[in-house]
A = this chain, B = another copy of it.
Amino acid sequence: MDCGGTKILAGVVGRDGTVDRRHALATPTSSEEDLLEALDGVVETLLGEDVVAIGLGVPSQIDQRTGRAVSSVHVPLRDVDLRGRMGDRFGLPVGIDNDGNAAAIAEWRLGAGRGASNIVLLTLGTGIGGGLILDGRPFRGSVGGGAELGHMVLDYGGPPCKGDCTGHGHFEAFAAGSAANALARARFGEHADARRLVDAAEGGDQGAISDLAELGHRLGAGIGSLVNIFNPELVIIGGGFADAGELILGPARETLAVEGLPLPREVVRIVLAELGHEAGMVGAALVGFETLDEPA
């Protein structure tokens, strides 16, 4: 299951990424209780004799010591024992992870990152999710809270974050969908959004093209930071806002060439994710399989 801020996508997924049955619904964000009930319902719908483990990706900080979702930015999950709760209810091994980490694992095993050992993944949506493969292994930090790449400070003193993040000028508030929404409203009025901006730019609107280029430059500054920190082989870009394609990636590459140090910027390739909107779901399944492979 991949539980995003907007949709829950779930499926019965094999180790090779093949998806058998699928189920999708809108994410209930009214309360934690409603959301947990929806997640249980999804499992009940898909459960069958072929299901050997449950994998769940959520846009939350996970404490892997306890299996708890500690805090979230876009869904109402706060200090809840996701792993224990679901394990008790369904009697199956449960693996949980941040949705960005899950997507990175999927792209590394089955998508654009096959064969690479050092990968930075960014999923551009309303916010920015992050995932890391470092020296050939998923990296989650000391207790599982790692790879929150959307929460680097990129614009000191800049726009505030949402949800449980109290920060300012973080990468996701400055360079992704919410920033695009703000630019769209400024240009086309209060009902416009990122989609409107991209449509207008694709239709040749110079103002919209310039707005997206500015977002691309900001994205490039964030990518430059990550390239300097990680010297990765690949930066993989996914998520809905990545549909803006070269309108943002062209300017991002220009800025990377300025903000990146010579060695890491020459080594890195910026590529699009291959697994599309199912990367998080497939990755969550791989996290579920991890529970079967670990020494007990």
By a beta-carbon cutoff of 8 Å, the part of chain A in contact with chain B is 61, 63, 70-71, 117-118, 130, 134-135, 137, 139-149, 151-156, 158, 164-170, 174, 218, 221-222, 224-225, 228-233, 258-264, 267
Residues in B neighbouring A151, C-beta threshold 8 A: 225, 228-229, 259, 261
Once the chains bind, are A145 and B71 in contact (CB under 8 Å)?
no
In the assembled complex, the CB of A97 is this many whole angstroms from the nearest CB of chain B, namely: 13
**What CA separation (Å) do A158 and B259 show in the bound complex?**
11
**What CA separation (Å) do A291 and B81 show in the bound complex?**
46
Counting every copy of the chain, the complex holds 2
**What CA separation (Å) do A258 and B258 show in the bound complex?**
30
Which B-chain residue is minimally distant from A148 (CB atoms)?
B228
Once the chains bind, are A259 and B146 in contact (CB under 8 Å)?
no
Residues in B neighbouring A221, C-beta threshold 8 A: 153, 156
Once the chains bind, are A147 and B267 in contact (CB under 8 Å)?
no
**What CA separation (Å) do A117 and B267 show in the bound complex?**
27
**What CA separation (Å) do A70 and B117 show in the bound complex?**
22
Known A146-B230, A232-B141; contact A152-B264, beta-carbon cutoff 8 A: no
Once the chains bind, are B229 and A146 in contact (CB under 8 Å)?
yes
**What CA separation (Å) do A163 and B155 show in the bound complex?**
23
**What CA separation (Å) do A96 and B149 show in the bound complex?**
29
Residues in B neighbouring A149, C-beta threshold 8 A: 228-229
Known A153-B154, A225-B153; contact A142-B231, beta-carbon cutoff 8 A: yes
A118 contacts which of B142, B152, B169, B231 (Cβ < 8 Å)? B142
Once the chains bind, are B263 and A166 in contact (CB under 8 Å)?
no
Once the chains bind, are B142 and A70 in contact (CB under 8 Å)?
no
Known A154-B156, A156-B154; contact A145-B261, beta-carbon cutoff 8 A: yes
In the assembled complex, the CB of A221 is this many whole angstroms from the nearest CB of chain B, namely: 4
- Having A145-B231, A167-B224, one finds 18 other A-B pairs with CB under 8 Å, namely A61-B262, A70-B263, A71-B263, A117-B142, A130-B229, A141-B264, A142-B267, A145-B267, A146-B230, A151-B228, A152-B225, A154-B154, A155-B156, A156-B174, A164-B261, A166-B258, A166-B259, A167-B261
Residues in B neighbouring A262, C-beta threshold 8 A: 61, 70-71, 164
Once the chains bind, are A141 and B166 in contact (CB under 8 Å)?
no
**What CA separation (Å) do A231 and B98 show in the bound complex?**
13
